[in-house]
Amino acid sequence: MISTLKENVEIILPENGLEEKLEQAGKEHRKLIIKLGFDPTAPDLHLGHAVVLKKLRQFQQLGHQVVIVVGSFTARIGDPTGKNKARQPLTAEEVQHHAETYISQLSKVIDVDKTNIVFNSEWLDALPFSEVIQLMSKVTVAQLMHRNDFSKRFSENTPIAMHELVYPILQGFDSVQIGCDIEMGGTDQLFNCTMGRQLQESHGKPPQIVMCMPLLKGLDGKEKMSKSLNNMIGLTDEPNEMFGKTMSIPDSLIDEFIDLTTDFSQEEKQDLRQRIKNGENPMNIKKLIAGNIVRQYHNQEAAEHADRFFTNQFQSKNSEEKAFEPVFLNSVFPAQHAITLVELCHRLKNKESKSFIRRLIENGGVKIDTVTKSDPQEKIELQKGKKIKIGKRSFFELL
């Protein structure tokens, strides 16, 4: 059991903390309380989030209590991004919308019916300013400056707003309120999670242990998976999109995807690695990974269909076998006869930002009837039968 819970975990603080917490819970005949907090800053979960969620599912399957803390208060403040500037705070309406979307997606991985979902505005909105000052008195500026992005920004004379310094303290106070035994997160949350340990101790409570999961790299193979970087595979992506995106990962990410995104057995994972070492075409291994991912978040039938679709769309040279998604002019482009290329592509791929689509066009990633178009402002006649290819995986035909 211990080895399973430790699988793929990058940091456990303190090192023997998990064993001690499990032993303590056994003696007291109670469930461990495992916390995961998130600020609903964007409405989509992706495979990077699932790395942590799958670990929570393991605790659930062992009968422990998972608590999801929705940062309904902290999201309105703005968490430091770790990228040398503060993240913009959200409105209450944005927080509510994103939170509802997040919660509906959690069921893709964890058992929502057995999960306690709480909103930190319940206690932080009610916290008097005098208690906020008392809370801040438990932490020194020197401690806060140990956070890497704070120290880097300070050394570079980049402004650090006071609310950013308060953010980790508020996140730590969530742990005090919940009385959690374990806080989960990615490695980028280590500082904030350890703040929870410190504040629990200062309030006379047993300190939580911290378990940090590795950060899954995105499709670019460089940065962590993120919606803002357009390098993510979303948990709600359609099967064909999910399969195709997985096939696009660089070969250097195969090992990481085997470990962090699939639910193959350890024996199966080792077999896949050995096949790579033996010189097998990485494309074959990616197909197995892609099929496994689609099966997890959809079903086996969808995985098999996505495999066939990918083969026809991207490996077959016969253009007649390629499938173009029908787009009805009257419903998508009512009373319009011509439209700019960037607007056309944005209507067809409305999950993508216009800036992303504009870059895609300028880099030669869009074709109209097999002709590459590079001017985002070019006027395109909306005519039945016109075929549009956007990026590597999106094919549309106007009807």
If phi > 0 it is left, if psi is from -120 to 50 it is alpha, else beta; for residue 230 that is left
3-state secondary structure of 386: coil
Contact 220, 229 (CB under 8 A): yes
3-state secondary structure of 221: coil
183 forms beta bridges with 35, 210
Identity of the residue numbered 393: R
The helix or strand, by DSSP H or E, that contains position 156, with its residue range, turns out to be none
Contact 395, 325 (CB under 8 A): yes
Contact 112, 156 (CB under 8 A): no
Q: Is the peptide bond between 40 and the residue preceding it cis, with omega within 30 degrees of 0?
A: no
pLDDT, block means (10 residues), the chain with 399 residues: 89 94 93 91 85 96 95 74 54 80 89 93 93 90 80 83 86 95 94 92 95 94 86 91 91 95 95 93 94 96 91 64 71 75 84 85 86 87 83 78
pTM of the model: 0.78
Q: Estimate to the nearest angstrom the gap between the alpha carbon of 305 and the chain centroid.
A: 25
- Among 208, 213, 212, 186, which Cα is nearest to 21's? 208
Cα radius of gyration (the chain): 24
Q: How many residues does the chain have?
A: 399
Place of tokens 């930002």: 353
Structure tokens at 173: 């106070």
- Mean pLDDT, the chain, rounded, equals 87
- Among 79, 87, 80, which Cα is nearest to 150's? 80
Structure tokens at 110: 């964890």
